[in-house]
Structure 1
Amino acid sequence: MFAVASDPQIWAKHPAWDRFKEPVFRAYFDDALASRGGLTVVDKASGRVIGASRYAAFPELDEVEIGWTFLSRDFWGGAVNRQMKRLMLAYALVAFPRVVFRVGENNVISCRAMEKIGGRLTDRTESIVRGGKPVVHVLYEIDRTGFTAGPLNT
């Protein structure tokens, strides 16, 4: 997985822009393991690891988050992200009425990807401190109705 994540271009527009560095990636990876919601993305044709994603449940908010996703640049702009999100959403929406996605407000690539799969930008934001500086995240959501009628199922 680190072989894919070690590409600095993957993280260039991401709030965690330095995740291509092994110690930073190891913290991400260890956190994914500890969360028990981490997933490995494998290309069926080659059997090659091409990325990762993760679930985080928030039962008190009646929602689950899908995030921490990255893909090898070989798979950007194709069907993989759409297929992966469709599968993850279908699974999550059985137990939760909505799924949220936290995206760095300046991460244009991820914002565009969210819009392509039918994510609706909410008015919710979150700010975290990264490297001593605040980083603002916006939240997109897809609910059961939006998923059924949205672009992932057309």
Structure 2
Amino acid sequence: MIFNDQPDLEGDTLRLRGLCEDDREDLFAAASDPETWAGHPAKDRCQRAVFDPYFDMLLAAGGTLVVFDKAEGKVIGCSRYYVGPDAPGDIGIGFTFLNHRFWGGEVNLRMKQLMLDHAFVHFDRVWFHIAPDNIRSQKATMKLGAEFTSDEDLDLSGSILPWKCYQLDRQAWKRVKAERLSN
């Protein structure tokens, strides 16, 4: 079975679907507040001149899903499936951002639940590559049950950069899901 890296995924509060050119303005609206990028290495991604090349890269690379908050009926961020150069037989999830108004609750967990459940139908492991100074994402990834494996210099989007590498296997995800999402 071939892995669909741009599936339509739907939960109680979120809907995810493949990114398309028509999403540019809505995704920029979600990204345009500087507070959204406060703990992120790309602090200036809220600016149109920085956002547009990022959007173009996501669109060209494929595997990107836009995230809709069903209650508000609008785009609140995105995330992406990709194959990392350090684990070509597995899948990665990253390039994620959510508008800062959706931090601190369960939105990231619910988004990743949809993506992880889909990925684990096809893969035994999912990888997360996080910038060394993005502490918020590192903590959120560990809450999913992922374990730090190494620091690596990798080319994930056109240039070699340092990354903190985390791995999540299917069994660890099942345990975390049973503990955190049993409702």
CA root-mean-square deviation: 2.2
Question: How far apart are the structure 1 equivalents of 2:178 and 2:113?
Answer: 8
1:1-154 equivalences under 5 Å are 1-58=27-84, 61-126=88-153, 135-149=161-175, 151-154=176-179
Normalised TM-score (structure 2)? 0.75
CA distance in 2, matches of 1:93, 1:52: 19
Identity score, percent: 44
Alpha-carbon contact 1:82-1:152 (below 8 Å) kept: no
Q: Distance in 1 between matches of 2:42 and 2:165?
A: 17
Uncovered stretches (5+) of structure 1, i.e. residues with no partner: 129-133
SS of corresponding position for 1:30: helix
Match of 1:131 in 2: none
Deviations, residues 63-121 of structure 1 (Å, cap 9, x unaligned): 11100111111110111100110110111111121111111111111111111211111
The residue identity in structure 2 corresponding to 1:153 is A
Q: Unpaired runs of 5+ in structure 2?
A: 1-26
TM-score by length of 1: 0.88
Which one-letter code corresponds to 1:141 in the other structure?
Q
Higher helix share: 1
Do the aligned partners of 2:151 and 2:162 also contact (CA within 8 Å) in 1? Answer: no
Whether the 8 Å CA contact 2:154–2:161 is kept in 1: the answer is: yes
C-alpha separation between the residues in 2 aligned to 1:153 and 1:22? 41
The structure with the largest strand share of the pair is 1
Report the Cα offset of residue 126 of structure 1: 2.3
Shift of 1:12: 2.1
Given the superposition, is the C-alpha separation of residues 57 and 135 from structure 1 closer, same or farther in structure 2, using an over 3 Å criterion?
closer
Asked whether the equivalents of residues 100 and 139 of structure 1 are also in contact (C-alpha less than 8 Å), the reply is yes
Residue pair 2:146, 2:169 contacting (<8 A) in 1 also: no
Aligned-partner Cα distance in 2 for 1:113–1:32:
22
